[in-house]
Amino acid sequence: MTVVDRFLDFVKFDTQSDEETNLTPSTPGQMVFVKYLKGVVEEMGLEEISLDENGYLFATLPSNIEADVPVIGFIAHIDTSPDMSGKNVKPRIVKDYNGLDIVLNEEEDVVLSPEQFPELLNYLGQDLIVTDGTTLLGADDKAGVAEILAAVAYLQEHPEIKHGKIRIGFNPDEEIGLGAHKFDVEKFGCDFAYTMDGGAIGELEYENFNAASAKVTIKGRNVHPGYAKHKMINSIRVANSFITMLPRWETPEHTEGYEGFYHLVGINGSVEETTLNYIIRDHDRDRFERRKREIEHLVNKTNTEYPGCCTVEIKDQYYNMKEKIEPVIHVIEIAEQAMRDAGVTPKVQPIRGGTDGAQLSFKGLPCPNIFAGGENFHGRFEYVSIRSMEKATEVIVNICKIVGEA
């Protein structure tokens, strides 16, 4: 069974996560899928298989050498983004991509075009898996799941490749920031691991944003508008003033690379009360802390004009794993060598987002992120290169080989 066969099988499962349920996994479809995966790893003959009530599936490919080498792990998440439906995904393979527009859905006029997505031209001559334009694809991260299982199957079929003990882990709810929260690092039992959750071929990431959420609540005073002079406090208007006080260029649409931002992700308001939901991001820890203080400063400033009307709740979400990876930088060097051995040029770059690996690194499991091959995650224009998936599989095999020969 090829990595493509596995992937096309896996995207049939609706595993969209939901941050409103307060359950783990957050949706029943994830448990359906992970139980299916449990059957897959059992059929493969893996050992130390465990599936807990929270949807975390672990399994082991035993060592085939006597030498004492590090235990390594490979991790992928089973959920897909809440941003768009992952139900009834209808994937299609575009053979030998020619650089022109790809009509995903003629009836709804959904077109995947290099004019809007110039990265498509990096895949000239390759076979691409696309959606039908009505759902996301699910390469984030079912491509990672498929690659890990395909690599393990390859190692089973080629016992001449010497390797140590290999652990695989599949977890729920990464897309809502909870993938690592109930991940039992001690039970997983690895010296280090890799999440197969990156994007384009060659990506290797061990720097990510420091992240926090900020919920700003503004209390107004509702009075009949005909008699409101000097009495009414319209919380929506106060909220608008708060929004405009933040730097207009420090938003996602104006930043790149190591630049941080404030991102307003939701507004819910009436005259009586308005809430603003922000996410705060920065690679630099000091700047990250300053950003949080700036939000608090603007709350205090708002309260000088409207006493007691504004409050904020700030919660740290995750931190930059760089500080945990640099002391064990050999885990990056191993991945770089594995890519070069597969004919892939490593592209070490910061993640402008988060990953389960960041939280796992702070829980004691160094865990950088490797490409899974997809592009345009979380929406109808998502696609994945078959060559990239095959190379990701090869990189996993090469990592196991390098560690086994150490």
Active site residues: 79, 174
Buried b (16+ CB within 10 A) or exposed e, 343-379: ebebbebebbebbbbbbbbbbebbbbbbbbbbbbbbe
Q: Which two tokens stand for residue 256?
A: 């790149």
d(CA 278, CA 225): 30
* Helix (H) or strand (E) segment spanning residue 339: helix 330-341
d(CA 361, CA 108): 43
d(CA 262, CA 279): 6
Q: Given its phi and psi angles, is residue 311 left (phi above 0), alpha (psi -120 to 50 degrees) or beta?
A: beta
User: Which parts of 158-250 fold into alpha helices (H)?
Assistant: 185-188, 235-245
Sign of CA dihedral 125, 128, 132, 135: negative
d(CA 369, CA 195): 5
